[in-house]
Structure 1
């Protein structure tokens, strides 16, 4: 992958929202003043500018890492410290939020160079994919770009994507699936890319499909259910729909296929640590009893079972964990090229992978994976909070948090919400907080 190939690819990218004034990103890269292999955190909204910055940083021999642009400054700073990042690129930056004094503006974004923490460098040609949904809050996976491109090619082969296709990206590009299986897949296949982004509405989604002649789209299970609930056929330009993340209820798979008899419906499985794609089910070609599986492994990928846990062997598995030590063994590197997924399941006699569930320390809240262990760690970092417990509400819409404090005057639930808000992302923020006095006999802070 060279600069000319990326330039040609970016010229094929279309943005549904008005294109922001971004200018020449070469000045931005120069402003980083970073040595080869330095980590650069990029927190920009879905858009052409984000892709230009991402690829420019990579081509400059630096290591880009994409994070949500809505991440609170305190969290971004924590991520930067754990990763040993040299710089941050964000739409707007207040230097004081990061203990710094200077910021410069280039290509429509602010650039801040970190000077107050230990810097870490990696071999050029790598990318960090954050795995906060499956590991710690500031934990990432170091992947080689060549491995990610290989994974993207395997994905395009599994769904029949070609240079004639137009792919709609309405998932955030900081998601490993969106970056690899959509952005990089278009780069490798020569497909046209249409960038959209949150918030998602069915009306905007359908309009984008029609307006831009979209032939391939990917949705999370929750978004797929929303689309299926309309009871209407999807517009004809669309020929392929992939649904990833947590398993989609087989009843909704049947409904999507029944409503769209000419549509290719693919169920996908993967995790960031694997690069990320692992398996694909072409549901529209399978009998209904297969809808509860995630299909067969991609070419070059092997799914094994240890006890009841699924393992993945692939040459696209991450090289090493970076950042905060992971509080869970999900995605643990057993040996080079082999990871423990933390998912419970099996491979049937015909080679189809069945996922029954995942480690209890992780949950899907509003369609996004959340580390419950990470939420507890943040709560327990607050003054006087000795212990925290988490659960997910019955509707899977919110996290519920119980905190045990050693204060004489217990903080109110509102006060606890206020303390937690700047430290957690929207989906991590608990909908319910219950404050308890520390039981007698337990140690105080």
Structure 2
């Protein structure tokens, strides 16, 4: 069954099209020697399509053959050895890809570091991960000034290492390098999660069966490469021998121009990015997109429907995490049926909603979401792991499945609050408020309450020129949800505090709320009524 699924998917996505027999033999020989990690995927692409443009970034374009040559030369020059950890603090660029693959070619573990980390967090991460070296973009030099005991490789030093590399070829290391992705760190210092190396074609086919990316497409990877979804997009793109289009910073107008100028038919992004694209005036010429695949956070309100109304039924939403890889994928058909769904599990994946005893809950009832697939993470680098049940990993989310097997995420386990004895899900209220036309973005969280234990607080950003009062917000919730779901705190901000992947940094909301109060005078913490209990 697996062989039929893999073969059929590869054929449909153009991976089995005829080509130069010698190159095809070299392609599969590269995978046989180097495996299905980044180092192997780049080599198979370079063997099959050496002159194809691999990457177009802000500064240059580079072929697959040249990308491989630079990564191999870097591997021979890095001041590290097999088993060492090398931090990467870089924005999206060909250089970051060369650094990742150079490290794994050596047998070292690249640690993908969020560019939004504070200097204090960077010091802690460098110590916790035991970094031997740190490859960084020059702009982050001041940020890492306090990181001691680690060799720092700036952009100039990076080029010197490549230019001065000793001659010779590369051999597969005894222990393949393992990529370490950091958790989001929205509530504290991020943890390192060891990503497994695929053991064959099935993981790739499980994703591209539902998200129809094809061989040799031009794909814009807008999601940060240090993010789980950006990293996954890179793995998929290399396997497909795609031309990858990158931009160091996400600027909506520039990204839209790139999509058109470079004839991109695929895009890998996080939801806040497509939300910002939707805020641009409708362009005279539209990009010829066939796939826009997003992941990393929930799609707010009716964003999915609005996006597809403008760009066509091309939106795919992958629900997953750093620890679980993927759990489910919503196709445009799923999102048309219900834009709140996370879709269905792809081939080889199981998703279950379980109660506190580990028993499945009935369809429509909320439980703890667990997922099983062959790409579950190998544990945190500090030795910790996640709860498992019968081979399924706890995602940390609460959710439910409908009668057709579609998955819905109702919120994080640690986000659910108990207010006056009632279970309240902030994400449910958040989605309701996101549908108000005056609201550009919103987040809802639980805060302590001396009388009821906890209560909801809503932080909102209005669209330009719009007005909305706190009581109007409460009345909207009051009309559609139970009284205990009405937020007593309604705070208007100029923007939500987000990290580099677009996730709201909840620990900064209190500070933002004080700022919003000063700037707007619309910070209402006590406007809820007793009837809202």
TM-score (norm 1): 0.71
Q: Distance in 2 between matches of 1:76 and 1:319?
A: 23
* Alpha carbons 1:303, 1:312 under 8 Å: kept: yes
Q: 1:235–1:293: structure 2 CA closer, same or farther, 3 Å change rule? A: same
Offset, 1:226: 2.5
Q: Deviations over 1:386-440 (max 9, x none)?
A: xxx9x9761289xxxxxxxxxxxxxxxxxxxxxxxxxxx9957736448xxxxxx
Higher helix proportion (structure 1 or 2): 2
> Is 1:342 paired with 2:390?
no
Please state if 1:206 is matched with 2:256.
yes
Out of 319, 344, 351, the position equivalent to 1:303 is 351
Report which stretch shifted further, 311-320 or 2-11. 2-11
Distance 1:236 1:103 in 2: 40
Aligned to 1:316, the other structure's residue is in SS state coil
Deviation (angstroms), 1:246: 2.3
- Number of residue pairs matched by the alignment: 371
Aligned match of 2:158: 107
Corresponding position of 2:18: none
For 2:3, the equivalent position in structure 1 comes to: none
Q: Which residue of 1 aligns with 2:122?
A: 76
The aligned residue for residue 326 of structure 2 is 277
Compute the RMSD of aligned alpha carbons. Answer: 4.1
Matched, 1:18 2:68: no
Match of 2:382 in 1: 323
Shift of 1:48: 0.2
2:56–2:243: 8 Å Cα contact kept in structure 1?
no
- Identify which range, 286-295 or 148-157, moves more after superposition: 148-157
Provide, for residues 156-190 of structure 1, a one-character-per-residue CA deviation record: whole Å limited to 9, x for no partner.
Answer: 2211111142110112100110111x111111122
**What is the CA–CA distance in structure 2 between the aligned matches of 1:200 and 1:267, rounded to whole Å?**
21
Residues 404-443 of structure 1 correspond to what in structure 2 (within 5 A)?
Answer: 427=505, 430=508, 432-433=510-511
For 1:45 and 1:298, the matched residues in 2 are separated by: 30
Q: What residue in structure 2 maps to residue 386 of structure 1?
A: none
- Give the match for residue 460 of structure 2: 395
Summarize deviations over 1:85-136 as a string: whole Å, max 9, x none: 222222345786223386566324899xxxxxxxxxx953422111134785
Alpha-carbon spacing, 1:109–1:296, altered in 2? closer, same or farther (3 Å) = farther
C-alpha change, 1:27 and 1:71, in structure 2 (3 Å) is: farther
Deviation string, structure 1 residues 295-348 (Cα, Å, up to 9, x no partner)? 1001111001112110001110011111386xxxxx814169521011111111
Q: Deviations over 1:9-37 (max 9, x none)?
A: 79633334123999945564345443322
Separation (CA, whole Å) in 1 of partners of 2:371 and 2:102? 32
CA distance in 2, matches of 1:53, 1:319: 23
Please say if 1:4 is aligned against 2:43: yes
**Larger strand share, 1 or 2:** 1
Correspondence 1:219 to 2:269: yes
Distance 2:295 2:150 in 1: 42
CA contact (8 A) 1:17 1:196 kept: yes
1:220 positional shift = 2.3
Whole-Å separation in 2 of the counterparts to 1:318 and 1:396: 36
Equivalent residue of 2:260, what SS?
helix
1:294 aligned partner: 342
Give unpaired runs (5+ residues) of structure 1. 112-121, 326-330, 373-388, 398-424, 435-445
> How much does 1:69 deviate?
3.6
Instruction: Structure 2: give runs of 5+ residues left out of the alignment.
Output: 1-30, 32-39, 163-173, 356-366, 417-425, 431-439, 447-453, 463-502, 515-533
Q: Report the alpha carbon displacement of residue 82 of structure 1 after superposing the two structures with TM.
A: 1.1
Question: Where does residue 190 of structure 2 map in the other structure?
Answer: 138
Counterpart secondary structure, 2:208: helix
Higher RCO (CA-CA < 8 Å; seq separation 6+) = 1
Distance 2:350 2:181 in 1: 22
Q: State whether residues 13 and 193 of structure 1, in contact with CA within 8 Å, keep that contact through their aligned partners in structure 2.
A: yes
Aligned partner of 1:195 in structure 2 is 246
- Shift of the alpha carbon at 1:54? 0.2
1:323 is paired with a residue whose SS is: coil
* Alpha-carbon shift at residue 258 of structure 1 (Å): 2.2
Match of 1:35 in 2: 81
Pair 1:37–1:210, CA change in 2 (3 A):
same
**CA displacement at 1:355 relative to structure 2:** 0.8
In structure 2, what is the equivalent of residue 252 of structure 1? 303
The 2-side partners of 1:335 and 1:321 are apart by 18
